[in-house]
Structure 1
Amino acid sequence: MPTFEKRVIPYTETGLFSKLIVDYLQEAAAVRDFYHRPDRLESYADQIREKSENYSDYHRKTLVAALEVQYQGFELTEAVRTNLTALRESHTFTVTTGHQLSLFTGPLYFVYKIVSAINTAKALQVQYPDYQFVPVYWMATEDHDFEEISSLVTNKGKLKWQKEAQGAVGRLDTAGLEQIAKLLESEFNTGKNAQEIAHLFKKVYLQETSLAAATRLLVNTLFGDTGLIIVDGDDRALKQLFVPNVERELFEQFSFKAVSQTNEKLKSYSVQVNPREINLFYLTSGLRNRIVKEEQRFRVVDTDIVFTETELRNELQEFPERFSPNVILRPLYEEVILPNLVYIGGAGELAYWLQLKSMFEAVGVTFPILKLRNAAVVLQRKQFQKIERLQLEINDLLRSVTDLSNRVAIQSADFPLSLDRERAVIESTFAHLEGLIARTDKSFAGAVAAQKKKQLNGLDKLEKRLLLAQKRKSADEIVRALALRQFVFPFNQFQERILNFSVFYAEFGAAFIDTLLQEFEPFKSELAVFIADT
């Protein structure tokens, strides 16, 4: 049975996050206007109170009824049944994360996001025992970027689903995945855990006929025992609740105005998304195209579909399911239909959520608390021992290739490669000269400054040459360090953003996910490093 030792690195020390996210984590004054409440346990009392006032019994009843339909035909755990029942009660709230329907979960962070939601709900349950907290996975079934979800990566490389696809990915059939099943079976061909992986893939994708149903079955199989509730927003009854907001978007373009104003305030950072005048798609079978306004008419881009204002109002009332929010409006849609307190996402997601608070305020919907999901790196004990032998720390492997190479060279040198002491001598000498000039002839100031710059530049060049010489001398150690870095950045991408969970499940079995559920601490902003003993 594998066991895992856990080490942690504060997020702010990893170098993995943008200034915007670091400022958010540190509650810097510069970003205070862009979120509602900070992500602290004590903040949730007021969040519960506000959401209670702004979420109607009708929305709650509609949500539960829709979920009961969505779960028809699925085998439910007792925990899921309990949470579906709990959602009927006014003292029950959700803790939500969302993701695309990535093939077999896609990158590892798909799993990390869901575990973060589950553990956040557990932590809130302890802190606020008078309420119920239900973890939710929102399936992005209406997304139409098939290329982005159509592959998974193992240690051997990418497995790609070859398929012609258009429209909402959740509606796609699963034809063509038999080949991926064979490739997975070939790759993980020995051991009980490997057989479980192959069996799970076949059970999910060869049994269900749509990608939405397959993803629901997969996530329910992995996390059903935790009570995780899976929501599909591509639902007529749920879309009906969103009609007033869609109407305002079509005829007032409220989100464009609100988000554009926020983006102007955020211009010192790099904004994640830019709003369109209408942030909606028209959705039918095989089609999800933008809606644009042209003079007095509304057109669906790249089609012959055109509406007058009256026709579009009628279409919305009769077929609300045909109106699909884009990345700007989808967060609002989630918060309208769910009794939600907190949204859990990655750094990129939180960056665009920070652009949206004014849009929520424009329509009187409670803005959720924003939580950065848990993150992790998984290493074998033998890899960790090699790190120690090189006298490196785990966070050294988070450095760039150049920075890590320099770090190894500097550490392995038997004399200091830094010429900072010599710089200090030059600075002191020229400070003395500048004092003499001030008392004698100020016309020498330019010549003295030029000489100082020349000598400092000369030291910079000497320091670089010393470093290059030491890197040649330390070539073997650098090669070993960079080989270790590849476990953290396989295929030159951060481990959790590229590898599929099957890589570690095949090796460690259910203990891998069990460890995440036991060890992820959602109210600590830290990267978890799991060192596996097998």
Structure 2
Amino acid sequence: MTQPARGIRGVRACCFPCRAPTDLLSPAPVTSSFSAAWLRGDARALSFLPDRCRRPTSRAEAVAAAASRSVPPALLDVLAARNARLAPSPARERNLELLSRPGTVAVVTGQQMGLFLGPLFTLYKAAAAITNARAITQETGRPCVPIFWLQTEDHDLPEIDHCHLPRSSGGPLRVALDLPDAAASRAPIAHRCLGPSITAALTTLRAELGAEPHAEEFLSLLERAYRPDATLAEAFAEVLSTLFAEEGLVFLDPRDPRLAALTAPVHHRSIEEAAAISTALASRADALASAGFAVQVHIRPGSPLGFYSPDGAEGARYRLDPAGPDTWSLVGHPDGRSVTTAELLGWLEREPLRFTTSALLRPLLQDTWLPTAAYVGGPGELAYFAQLEPLYAHAGLPMPLVVPRARFRVLDDRARRWLGKLGLTADELSTPREELLTRLAARDATQALEAPEALEARLFGALASELDRLEDPLLALDANLKDALQRTRGTVRVAVSRLTGRYARALARRDGTTAERVDRLRTFLTPNDEPQERVLGLPYYASRIGMRAFTKQVLDACVPFSGALQDLTP
């Protein structure tokens, strides 16, 4: 029997199973969520993305394969220069020196540059990369370095221009940049400065969090990093590097101009071999769909996997679709522009920064540059790695271990106190709001009150029984009364349902204080009916608990090679 992993005090910890619980040949329900199926060890999901990270022998094989590759000297030079601009860290300097040695491997993770680090899972991914790198070193004896890939090639500003804070009423507070062109922007965010609206966002943070015990330390860090003239990426890296300075987390920005030449071979292959690559990936997508899984990344027939910016490196980027022999249309271009293969390859040689990767091409660039033993990813990344085996095979590269990121639900002292007052567990907060309020009202009533469902069943049962008793005598008297009986049953059902519906709403309204506490807890634990880690950002927790104290608790709670959800009780 698999034993639960032991966590730190205040953490509920468990591992997922070492082997799939079902046989590939046995019938099993399918799900549209690949990551959910993979995390629970579903055999059909594992047939697309084996759970190699869960087995020591497979981890050793992946590490040995990665150790046979080395980091290009040009990349080492850029890493050293780029990381020297971040928060001082002797541990990071040691890790950079280790990367220059043959045989060193890496655990990589990455994320878009969310405002003030974006949702909490950004911190959890970085912590998981560090924890898994340590575990690989201890297990194999190979030096292993954690690397954070700054996803500066992306252009989706509406996904990253904000941060959410929990608050006691009114739902989460959205703190955002005022970027009027955000929805229409198609330029890589590497070149996007924060602008003057960052000042108002920081002022909002101070107004909301300034009274918290550790606010000054963290808010001062944000104010130093998030300056109007700084880019989103620069500010993001400055804060995250400070949080993990003791652990030596290394940062890589693929948009650094000094790396442009190193990107060219990957983009060249993507263009020249687009038809073969897209055919292989489309076949994989069809297999995933046939197995009952949603395909994370749509495959465009015959299209390269990258983006092209026709107006220069800092301009809008567009996907390429086949438009004829050696001609490509720029998907979404306002003028319907197209470009020839010869033009693309010419620009790739002269100005490779005009080219950027997609979600499927980025891992290939990453593992072309780095000796990646493992990649730490979230649910969406697990799903697109399930699509990637044909691409790695085409490129002749081994796929790294794919490790699920750490997942936490933070129950701070306030949340625990509110749960105690309501007599609820954190899991009960996932119950639909009206149902939960009704249950609490019935539980806390000074006199016994039936649940609405029980009352409805009792009332309709009694009336239906009377109609059943009358049916034979009435029909014996006049067979034409059958329709009237049926209409009466329907009328009774509707009337009873209306009555019990009003009764349920009265129960829900009975205790306004309870409703307020439930709503407040839902904002902290299930904001917008989503997992806490996907909505709420770090500023509240760093300001209340301490930025290093909270980071350290996350690190201590991470279980290597496990993506099990844990409760963190700082």
TM-score range, shorter chain: 0.7 to 0.9
CA contact (8 A) 1:275 1:328 kept: no
Q: Report the 3-state secondary structure (helix = DSSP H, G, I; strand = E; otherwise coil) of the residue aligned with 1:286.
A: coil
Q: Structure 2 counterpart of 1:342, which letter?
A: A
Deviation of the 1:319 alpha carbon = 2.3
The residue aligned with 2:298 is: 274
The residue aligned with 2:60 is: 45
CA contact (8 A) 1:238 1:337 kept: no
The residue aligned with 1:63 is: 75
Q: Structure 1 counterpart of 2:219, which letter?
A: A
The residue aligned with 2:349 is: 317
CA contact (8 A) 1:409 1:471 kept: no
| C-alpha distance after superposition, 1:76-100 (max 9, x if no partner) | 3100100000001122111111100
2:567 counterpart of 1:529: yes
2:252 counterpart of 1:248: no
Change (3 A) 1:208 1:73: farther
CA contact (8 A) 1:409 1:470 kept: no
Instruction: Using structure 1 for the length normalisation, give the TM-score.
Output: 0.81
Change (3 A) 1:75 1:374: closer
CA distance in 2: counterparts of 1:141 and 1:340, whole angstroms: 20
CA distance in 1: counterparts of 2:215 and 2:550, whole angstroms: 13
The residue aligned with 1:430 is: none
Change (3 A) 1:73 1:529: closer
The residue aligned with 1:449 is: none
The residue aligned with 2:175 is: 159
Count of matched residue pairs? 487
| C-alpha distance after superposition, 1:131-159 (max 9, x if no partner) | 11111111110111112111112235111
Deviation of the 1:18 alpha carbon = 6.5
The residue aligned with 1:290 is: 319
Structure with greater proportional strand content: 1
CA contact (8 A) 1:300 1:306 kept: yes
The residue aligned with 1:498 is: 535
Deviation of the 1:530 alpha carbon = 2.2
Change (3 A) 1:187 1:320: same
Please show how residues 96-107 of structure 1 align to structure 2 within 5 Å: 96-107=108-119
Change (3 A) 1:191 1:407: closer
Q: Structure 2 counterpart of 1:275, which letter?
A: I
- Identify the match of residue 150 of structure 1 among 157, 161, 168: 161
CA contact (8 A) 2:374 2:401 kept: yes
2:397 counterpart of 1:365: yes
Gaps of 5+ in 1: 423-454
CA distance in 1: counterparts of 2:514 and 2:428, whole angstroms: 12
Deviation of the 1:262 alpha carbon = 1.1
Moved more, 225-234 or 403-412: 403-412
CA distance in 1: counterparts of 2:519 and 2:212, whole angstroms: 30
Q: Report the 3-state secondary structure (helix = DSSP H, G, I; strand = E; otherwise coil) of the residue aligned with 2:236.
A: helix
CA contact (8 A) 1:404 1:482 kept: no
- Identify the match of residue 378 of structure 1 among 403, 406, 410: 410
Change (3 A) 1:519 1:75: closer
Q: Structure 2 counterpart of 1:341, which letter?
A: A
| C-alpha distance after superposition, 1:308-363 (max 9, x if no partner) | 33332232223222211111211211121111111112112211221112211121
CA contact (8 A) 2:109 2:148 kept: yes
CA distance in 2: counterparts of 1:407 and 1:123, whole angstroms: 45
CA distance in 2: counterparts of 1:382 and 1:102, whole angstroms: 26
Measured on the aligned residues, the alpha-carbon RMSD in Å equals 3.4
Change (3 A) 1:21 1:463: farther
- Identify the match of residue 426 of structure 2 among 389, 394, 397: 394
Q: Report the 3-state secondary structure (helix = DSSP H, G, I; strand = E; otherwise coil) of the residue aligned with 1:141.
A: coil
CA distance in 1: counterparts of 2:212 and 2:35, whole angstroms: 41
Q: Report the 3-state secondary structure (helix = DSSP H, G, I; strand = E; otherwise coil) of the residue aligned with 1:39.
A: helix
The residue aligned with 2:10 is: 6
Moved more, 71-80 or 365-374: 71-80
Q: Report the 3-state secondary structure (helix = DSSP H, G, I; strand = E; otherwise coil) of the residue aligned with 1:314.
A: helix
Change (3 A) 1:74 1:507: closer
Gaps of 5+ in 2: 1-7, 18-30, 168-172, 458-488
Q: Structure 1 counterpart of 2:373, which letter?
A: L
